Structure 1
Amino acid sequence: MIKKIFLAFIINWIVSSPVLAQTLHDVRPPVKYPVNFWIFWICIFLAFLFIGAVLLYLKKKRKQVKTEKAMEPVRVPWEIALERLEALQQKQLLEKGLFNQYYTEVSDITRYYCEDRFAMKAPEMTTEEFLYALKESNQLNSDQKVLLKDFLTQCDLVKFAKYAPTIDEAKRIFNAARQFIVETKEEKNVEVKADGV
């Protein structure tokens, strides 16, 4: 009973409320703002201007990188190989008795030279695979092929068969590598034009 009285009191209070006694209105329609197309076109223009500035910056940056790369001299394979041979000689591995390391490095220098100079994957091949590829190749003459075959065979004896070479044999291997590189380096073709002859 108390609930019914309380409920009747609340309903009566809501109905007699001045706020609710007012008539309810419908939802207002959306507000229409005036469209200014010139603002739209200015935004488009600024966007294109920004994109153009970014592209210009990237183009200049790329050109600067290309210029820096162009300034670096291109090193040819035989220069690199001869330089590495000189660096190997400076290590004095023979005087320290490190024949295995010496022969390994001489062999690696020659193999990387062959890879760079003749486009052979020499460092990744076994000696037998490499010699077979040389046999099929016409980039070397027969004397150079024999020199390289003897060189690689001697290197493999020391590296894998634990052959103990003398210092003179090690120096001959070094000289053979140098000779091979010097003999196979690419000579620049110089064309001489005869004037009026």
Structure 2
Amino acid sequence: MRAMAWWGAVVAAAAATGAGVAPGAGVREAAAQDLRVAMDVDTTMIHLGDPVSVLLRVEHPADWSVEWADSLDVAPFEVLSYGVAPPSAAPGGDGAVSAAALVLTSFELGELEIPVIDIPVVGPDGTVRTLFTDPYRIGVVSVGLDESGDLREIRGPLSIARNWWLLIPWLLLAAAVAAGAFLLHRRRRARPVAEVARPKVPPRPHHLVALEALDELERSSLLERGEVKTWHVRVSEIVRTYVEGQLEVPALEMTTREVVAGLRNAALGSRITDTFHTFLARCDLVKFAKLRPGADASQEVLGVARTLVELTSGPGRGPESGNGERPDEAEEAAGGSR
């Protein structure tokens, strides 16, 4: 996949002590010890327009929840992609971890700063605590900068000395090939051979191929061996291959954001497209952000993949509701992906 392969190589999950809580954030006494935020950035220097991978991790009690914003203002940087993962159990089983993955870029030169990001966390009684990340400086340099600063003269086109004698062997070769093709054509016409037309085997439907691949993955022992990442990478590849063949969206060469844009153009309907988005983002976070859901959650991802294939298979993609999808199955798929 292009730039960052959805992320390229996202850094490892932040350490438990992380960036902490900024003074005045509204987290006091015992609650402050249970709420922590960490921000990982994969570089301190980029070229103009290069991607920057950012991972936000919030550790909180299991009965608290993170209210992620629909969009983040990180000027002077621009947000290329932004995905949120469902909460997962913290290492050791004490509390939970919520994570969000961003890809940023900038088209301004100089020493720039990712600003403070405020993250609200809501308790079971409705209490809101706000965590703050630390600002992070990144240098943005120009591509192909000439450190001398001198302007160079434009060079004219180079002239190539022509040696016409070098063309003679190629002309003789072309004449020999043409003569051979002519003789072969005459020989075939002199001795015609009746050829029996073989019926063409139609290609197998894309949805059947995808469903069989999902069944084979379900029968595998990846989850029993603890290979959760391989499981999610494989199920994501199966769905992307299906989308490329069935819906003609080149998903294998696209980021998740580009795939979702292509699906919207395919007029699948908002709920099915949103379910695709949630499914792919969830697989990306396991692949790149090192989240490790349990076996039941992993099986749930495969079930969502199977439902998406079934909902979008066939020339007309089945009976549709007003927004382009079967409402009962779309709601079930959307609910299973959360």
TM-score tier (shorter): 0.5 to 0.7
The 1:53/1:161 distance shift into structure 2, 3 A limit, reads same
Structure 1: which amino acid aligns with 2:277?
A: K
TM-superposition CA deviations, 1:94-129 (whole Å, max 9, x none)? 111101110000000000000000111100001122
Separation in 1 of the partners of 2:186 and 2:292? 73
Aligned to 2:233: 104
Structure 1: which amino acid aligns with 2:211?
A: L
Task: Give me the CA root mean square deviation.
Answer: 2.4
| 1:116-195 alignment runs, 5 A limit | 116-135=245-264, 137-186=265-314
The 1:173/1:52 distance shift into structure 2, 3 A limit, reads same
Separation in 1 of the partners of 2:269 and 2:204? 25
Aligned to 1:82: 211
Q: How many residues align?
A: 134
Structure 1: state its 5+ residue gaps: 1-46, 190-197
Q: Is the 8 A contact 1:78 1:113 kept in 2?
A: yes
CA apart distance, 1:52: 2.0
Structure 2: which amino acid aligns with 1:148?
A: F
Moved more, 115-124 or 140-149: 140-149
The 1:48/1:170 distance shift into structure 2, 3 A limit, reads closer
Higher helix share: 1
| 1:46-85 alignment runs, 5 A limit | 50-54=187-191, 56-57=192-193, 60=195, 63-64=196-197, 67-68=198-199, 70=200, 72-85=201-214
The 1:94/1:48 distance shift into structure 2, 3 A limit, reads closer
Structure 2: which amino acid aligns with 1:162?
A: K
1:114 and 2:251 matched: no
Larger-Rg structure = 1
Structure 1: which amino acid aligns with 2:189?
A: G
* TM-score of the superposed pair, with normalisation by structure 2: 0.37
Structure 2: state its 5+ residue gaps: 1-183, 318-338
Aligned to 1:193: none
Moved more, 153-162 or 137-146: 137-146
Q: Is the 8 A contact 1:118 1:139 kept in 2?
A: no
| Identical aligned residues as a percent | 31
The 1:52/1:143 distance shift into structure 2, 3 A limit, reads same
CA apart distance, 1:48: 9.6
Q: Give secondary structure in 2 for the equivalent of 1:159.
A: helix
* TM-score of the superposed pair, with normalisation by structure 1: 0.62
Q: Give secondary structure in 2 for the equivalent of 1:153.
A: helix
